[in-house]
Structure 1
Amino acid sequence: MSVTNALAIDCEMVESYNKSLLARVSIVNQHGSTILDEYVKPSSTVTDYRFLVNKKWNIDNGQDFSYVKNKVANLLQGRILVGHSIHFDLEVLQLSHPESKRRDLAKYNRLQKNGQPVALKTLAKNYLGRDIQESAEHDSVEDAKACMDIYLKLAHEWEYNF
């Protein structure tokens, strides 16, 4: 489980009175290996478990937010961050990451349709021939791996144009 120059991230969130809270964060390396997969204990009352209702136990018994936030911050330091709509992940983690080090599939022109983001599920099907998000519950590891694989398919072109 080596930390590579590029890491892909995906977060799952729950809701507390119309505010998103981090429930799970997953990070994979360029080889598709999971280097972080943590459930996070809610910092306030959960009013909607969204897709994670079957993971309530994992969330309620998860790590403290500050511990996970620091772990993620240390991993991302100086690395390329790959994801889909990364700003939501960074926002719920209360972290920033330089734009020059972000590779956001939702913002990359080649992956958009009519200037609009395309769902990760659709991108995975179109670029990888892979079906993801098939169940009612999303899997942040599966989504992070799909993001990394799509990025790697386009990395040469992406980095050249960057």
Structure 2
Amino acid sequence: MEHLVEHMRASHHSPHEPRCGVCGKHCRSLDALRDHLGFGASLPPKPACATAFAAKGCSLCLAVFPSSGSLRAHSPTCHHSRAPVPSRSMPRVPVGGVVALGCKMVGGGSDGTLDVCGRVCVIDENEAIVFENFVRPLLPVTHYRYETTGIRPEYLRDAPTVKMMQRQVEAILLNGEQPWKVRSSRGAARLLVGHGLEHDLDALGMDYPAYLKRDTAEYPPLMKTSGRLMSNSLRFLTQSCLGYDIQTGHQHPYEDCVAAMRLYKRMSSMRHGPPKNGGEDDACAAVAFPARRQRELERMSPEELLSMSKPDYHCWCLDD
């Protein structure tokens, strides 16, 4: 039992880490788990796990089922289809405490390489558009990037300014909460989901507390593990984890919002089972293992360590 106790003190496995459904091994990311199961490209697989997964494993959620029949019943619910972009509608009240944000950037500066926001979209947990509009940047636009954004000069000429969009998005996020109170207490403020949230918020001239953000670009299980953790693109994550393609042709920020929200719900369900309250999880401390908690573990007896059902020192708070 001593070696098990020492392992528990040293390993500090996070409930965020994906695990092999055959042998239970903790993997650092989904990429590492794919390598372990035999369909990655970096490392050789574990033969026994690869054989079992090839027969009864889902290539999207990486779960292993007791029979091929269970796998066939699961497949239609796991494989998402591309969400059709709805026609523009009037703003509506978001459902639940989680919203997703997406922006499309046009080019500013002398060479058009400076990203400035040209279009913004916010959706709720049910993938319904809460707010969507073109944005008139404060800087002159020198490259509209029409091939990917589909934005033309006339779309931005009479559009609301960035400052107006900032107030609209902040009102949705704060949900009636006072800005000063959000820093110290969650209250009624909503969780914000997205991919590369810092980039989008900077383009809108906004800030939002880290403990209320869920950024799929900085969530370790969704990142690359070749040498060091690096962000995967939203397009790659959508194809590999949800089973469909996005960002082809003219890109709408609605598609990015939907993909980020679906990734958030999938990763939450992998850790907690089916999400409660529309996918909202309990906010707590940072991803990093607190030194104080480590000292508490070191003072525990072997019996207390073994009685712990699972670690309680991690949460999905991706930006701390």
The reply to whether TM is greater than 0.5 is yes
* 1:34 Cα deviation from its structure 2 partner: 0.6
Instruction: State the match for 2:251 in structure 1.
Output: 138
Highest RCO, 1 vs 2 (Cα 8 Å, sep ≥ 6): 1
Distance 1:54 1:102 in 2: 28
Residues 128-147 of structure 1, C-alpha deviations (whole Å, 9 max, x = no match): 11211111x32101110111
1:126 lines up with 2:240 in the alignment: yes
1:52 to 122, 129, 149: 149
CA contact (8 A) 2:118 2:137 kept: yes
1:62 to 159, 162, 167: 159
Instruction: State the match for 1:33 in structure 2.
Output: 128
Task: Give the CA RMSD over aligned residues.
Answer: 1.7
1:85 lines up with 2:180 in the alignment: no
1:76 lines up with 2:173 in the alignment: yes
Distance 1:25 1:88 in 2: 13
CA contact (8 A) 1:27 1:35 kept: yes
Amino acid at match of 2:137: P
Instruction: State the match for 2:206 in structure 1.
Output: 95
Aligned residues: 161
Residues 29-78 of structure 1, C-alpha deviations (whole Å, 9 max, x = no match): 00000101110123232111123354332222311222111000111111
What SS does structure 2 have at the residue aligned with 1:131?
coil
Distance 1:68 1:54 in 2: 17
CA contact (8 A) 1:9 1:81 kept: yes
Distance 2:157 2:193 in 1: 28
Amino acid at match of 1:30: E
Amino acid at match of 2:246: I
What SS does structure 1 have at the residue aligned with 2:142?
coil
* 1:106 Cα deviation from its structure 2 partner: 0.6
Amino acid at match of 2:244: R
Percent identical among aligned pairs is: 25
Distance 1:55 1:33 in 2: 25
1:109 lines up with 2:220 in the alignment: yes
Distance 1:96 1:54 in 2: 26
Amino acid at match of 1:12: K
* 1:121 Cα deviation from its structure 2 partner: 0.6
Identify the range of structure 1 (118-127 vs 52-61) with the bigger mean alpha-carbon deviation.
Answer: 52-61
What SS does structure 2 have at the residue aligned with 1:47?
strand
Which entry has the higher C-alpha Rg, 1 or 2? 2
1:8 to 79, 82, 100: 100
Amino acid at match of 1:76: L
Distance 1:54 1:66 in 2: 20
Structure 1's unaligned 5+ residue stretches are none
Distance 1:145 1:53 in 2: 19
What SS does structure 1 have at the residue aligned with 2:169?
helix
